[in-house]
Amino acid sequence: MKIATWNVNGIRAREAQLCEWIARDRPDVVCLQEIKARPDQVPDRCKLADYHAFWHGGGGYSGVSLHLKRELLEAPEFSHPEFDIETRIVQVALGDLVVASVYVPNGGKDYPAKLGFLKSLVAWANSLHAEGRELVVCGDINIAHTDMDVHPKERKPGVIGQRPEERELFDALLAANLVDVVRALDPENPTSSRGGLRGATCGSGTSAGESTTFLRPARSPNVLKRARCSPRSGRAIMHRS
């Protein structure tokens, strides 16, 4: 199974690129973040006929979506957990596997709300694990997990996205039986002045706000065992065996 994710930064601005990408890579599951559109504002061209889709947006600066090839499930049940705010998370179950598209608040306008969302995300991940479910989280966590994930010139410990309490919550999320896939595949990848794969991020890597993150179940080492991303766009694809 091919699972793909992309922070599109506005679905209406990425209409052509999205269609080109999907047609080329044909992922089974697509997670999008920061769509910045209500369902009725999504361009018709992006409503792909061979995918079930759930557009979860309010027209503001956030919003997420989740898309499944129709051959995977006849009638998928898309939903969002109770802690969802500002249309920031959507989930779907594929048997015992839950896939979620997540866009964590950056915290600039309401830092306590970001911490609250992250705490709820951790609790939710733990509850799924306790039920015997497996979880794949795709999205923008808006945290530079370690200094390796930040360009040296951008390393500022007091800046939102790099604060100790945020990184501790990222650690807690991983402790909920999850593994940072990209970092696991490339643990020694250094930060450089060039964009590219950087630990938990695909994208520019200069800040926590431009990232694509894959977290897979820790007890399933063969799940999502290959990764690739486009350094320029931040789009990423994982393969689940």
User: For 55, what's the count of Cα atoms within 13 Å in the CB-facing half-sphere?
Assistant: 20
Q: What string of DSSP letters covers 39-90?
A: GGGS-GGGS-TTEEEEEE--SSS--EEEEEETTT-SS---B--TT--SS-EE
Catalytic residue among 103, 147, 149, 186: 103
Question: CA nearest 32: which of 22, 44, 45?
Answer: 22
Q: Is 84 a catalytic residue?
A: no
Mode of pairing for the β-strands spanning 196-198 and 29-33:
unpaired
180 has catalytic annotation: no
* Contact predicate 122/177, CB 8 Å: no
How far, CA to CA in Å, does 95 sit from each of 53, 65, 87, 89, 131?
18, 20, 24, 19, 13
Of 211, 215, 208, 216, residue with least CA distance to 231: 211
What does the alpha-carbon distance between residue 163 and residue 165 come to, in Å, rounded to a whole number? Answer: 6
The DSSP call for residue 154 is G
Catalytic residue (choose from 140, 147, 171, 180) = 140
Looking at the annotation, which residues are catalytic? 103, 140
